[in-house]
Structure 1
Amino acid sequence: MHTMWKGSISFGLVNIPVKLHAATEDKDIKLRTLHKDCHTPLKYEKVCPVCDREIKTEEIVKAYEYTKGKFVVLDEEELENLRKENEEKAVEIIDFVKMEQIDPIYFNRGYYMSPNEGGGKAYSLLRKALEESHKVGIAKIVIRAKEQLAVIRVYENTLVMETIHFPDEVRKAADVPNVPSEDKVTKKELDTAIMLIDQLTAEFDPEKYKDDYRAALMELIESKRTGKETVTAAEREPVSNVTDLMAALQASIDRTKPKKEPAKRKRTSAVKPKKEA
């Protein structure tokens, strides 16, 4: 399993060297965007609208827009130093709380924690202590240049770190529009709803839930593939340098060719009429 972070977790005087591994994976089916006519995958280029040209990676800088059109530019070296300064700190468990006190809306992403070299005993100690106390640890950690609030808990004999949102990242439920302030339901309606809930109540078994849309999409893709309903991207025709050179030379000749002056009209001398004798 790929290691995405190395560091240490501490509570009190106990220090645990650990590694983080992603506990979940994205199973979404990735679809490419093709040109309808030639089935060539489209490219998305970074283009400066002012300079009207594609920008190379080395020309790009990061900045914070503090007001419309005004930016504070941050050097990559400054950002890297800031990341290292925070990532190299030991992650300290700030508090221990009961899991049920944390609403699920705060949870973001889960990571498995494994002990690094020499951390096996301290890892086991924290795991056992959390199990016996029925508590979870609250800690702060910097992952991918972002400080995260996290919950450390036990899942199937393994320590898991669940990143959670900071309070100011969770929008207020009171701001949701059109939510009824009062329950205008009859007792009969409520009793019927509760009866339905009771009939559908079961033990939670995650294995029974499947991604039906993903399965149907893969079935459609496979049926088209086996039925030879496939397309091939068109290959770009090589551009002849000779043709380009000749075109450039001809354009240069046409540009430098002297312009013909309009023909001047010849003057006709007036014939004086002869005098009669």
Structure 2
Amino acid sequence: MAPRANWKGFLRLSLVTCPVALYPATSESEKISFNQLNRQTGHRIKYLKVDADTGDEVPNEDIVKGYQIEKDQFIEVTKEELEEVALESTRTIEIDEFVDRSDIDPRYLIRPYYLRPDGKVGHDAFAVIRETIREMEKVAIGRVVLTNREHIIALEARDKGLIGTLLRYPYEVRGEQEYFDEIQDVKVTKDMLDLAKHIVNQKAGRFDPEKFEDHYESALVELINQKRVGKVIRPKERPKGENVVDLMDALRKSVGGATADAAAPKNPAKKPKKASAGQKEMLMPIAGKKPAKEGAAKKPAAGPRRKSA
């Protein structure tokens, strides 16, 4: 089934316009999620919308939005009034300017989306806008309304489509001064810097997201599998951080350790896990990423649905 668009409208560059659809480029649905349960019964917790004063449940049709101006004083705003504030960016992404990618501070980045033509028409106009962005090596800046708020969106060419990244407004970004002002001014010697650079060169590589594994997610899968077969969960000893007394000595030892790691033969049979496929594969039999040594061969006996350590 084709993914559902988060937004549909038009992309416009001056007089060039085409219908487009916006799709989320990322998903967290593969991650393990937990429900809240009643410890006594094992039943799920249900949330109700209730009047804060009377405690009575309020149906959705009687709930309106309100802006608090003082304690217990609100200005009610209706759905119709909010629709009157509708901006052009509700239906159209107007490209306002083109900037260099390096000009965009990473703190302003929120989340990426895929942008593609919507329907069978407008592919020519879309291609013109996409290839102009690509050839100029620029990022197109526009505006779009999502979840009832207007966002800045940065458009970049990607394959046959566009990547649109939502950006924060300046008032949403905190300044670094209040966090960095108390950091001490330390003079780093050339010898220390040379040793640190040597470590960096030994560990230099190319960013490949396929190499990375979500260790916490894997640990959750293992925990669930162990509890499913009735294994007693015992706390593991946490690693202890060590205070570095001699920084120069620590750097020298790090260089030696990095050299040993680089010289050690790598197991050709061991392949990096694919982050995109890992979670579903691990949870299919819920036996985890590797067969459990205890109880994996035997099917657990039927019993209560809720288990505890």
Category of TM-score, reference length = shorter chain: 0.7 to 0.9
Unaligned stretches of 5+ in structure 2?
Answer: 231-299
Matched, 1:127 2:130: yes
Which residue of structure 2 aligns with residue 47 of structure 1? 50
Q: Which has more radius of gyration?
A: 1
For residues 159-213 of structure 1, the C-alpha deviation after alignment (integer angstroms, 9 at most, x for no partner) is 1110010111111111215642523322222222222222211111111112111
CA 1:182–1:16: 2 relative to 1, 3 Å: farther
Q: Distance in 2 between matches of 1:143 and 1:53?
A: 32
Q: Is the 8 A contact 1:39 1:231 kept in 2?
A: no
CA 1:154–1:232: 2 relative to 1, 3 Å: same
Query: How many angstroms does 1:225 deviate by?
Result: 3.2
For the aligned residue pairs, the C-alpha RMSD in angstroms reads 2.1
What TM-score, normalized by structure 1, do the two folds share? 0.77
Q: 1:176 aligns to what SS in structure 2? A: helix
Q: 1:201 aligns to what SS in structure 2? A: coil
User: Of Structure 1 and Structure 2, which has the larger fraction of its residues in strand?
Assistant: 1
What TM-score, normalized by structure 2, do the two folds share? 0.69
Which residue of structure 2 aligns with residue 4 of structure 1? 6
Matched, 1:157 2:160: yes
Query: How many angstroms does 1:50 deviate by?
Result: 1.6
Which residue of structure 2 aligns with residue 91 of structure 1? 93
Determine which of 91, 110, 113 is the counterpart of 1:108: 110
Q: 2:83 aligns to what SS in structure 1? A: helix
CA 1:191–1:96: 2 relative to 1, 3 Å: same
CA 1:181–1:168: 2 relative to 1, 3 Å: farther
Q: Distance in 1 between matches of 2:97 and 2:163?
A: 16
Letter in 2 for 1:92: E
Matched, 1:183 2:186: yes
Matched, 1:172 2:175: yes
Unaligned stretches of 5+ in structure 1?
Answer: 234-277
Q: Distance in 1 between matches of 2:186 and 2:19?
A: 52
Determine which of 74, 77, 81 is the counterpart of 1:74: 77
* Percent of residue pairs identical: 33
For residues 218-257 of structure 1, the C-alpha deviation after alignment (integer angstroms, 9 at most, x for no partner) is 2322343355497437xxxxxxxxxxxxxxxxxxxxxxxx
Q: Distance in 1 between matches of 2:88 and 2:218?
A: 42
Q: May I ask how many residue pairs the two structures share in their alignment?
A: 232
Q: 2:85 aligns to what SS in structure 1? A: helix
Which residue of structure 2 aligns with residue 202 of structure 1? 205
Q: Distance in 2 between matches of 1:14 and 1:72?
A: 41
Letter in 2 for 1:29: I
For residues 45-76 of structure 1, the C-alpha deviation after alignment (integer angstroms, 9 at most, x for no partner) is 22323213232222322111123332111012
Alignment of 1:201-240 (within 5 A): 201-225=204-228, 228=300, 231-232=304-305
Alignment of 1:25-36 (within 5 A): 25-26=27-28, 27-36=30-39
CA 1:54–1:88: 2 relative to 1, 3 Å: closer
Which residue of structure 2 aligns with residue 57 of structure 1? 60
Letter in 1 for 2:18: I
Query: How many angstroms does 1:144 deviate by?
Result: 1.1
Q: Distance in 2 between matches of 1:155 and 1:207?
A: 19
CA 1:178–1:63: 2 relative to 1, 3 Å: same
Q: 1:7 aligns to what SS in structure 2? A: strand
For residues 117-169 of structure 1, the C-alpha deviation after alignment (integer angstroms, 9 at most, x for no partner) is 31111111112111111101000111110100010001233211100101111
Query: How many angstroms does 1:23 deviate by?
Result: 0.6
Which residue of structure 1 aligns with residue 16 of structure 2? 14
Q: Distance in 2 between matches of 1:96 and 1:177?
A: 32
Query: How many angstroms does 1:108 deviate by?
Result: 0.4
Q: 1:163 aligns to what SS in structure 2? A: strand
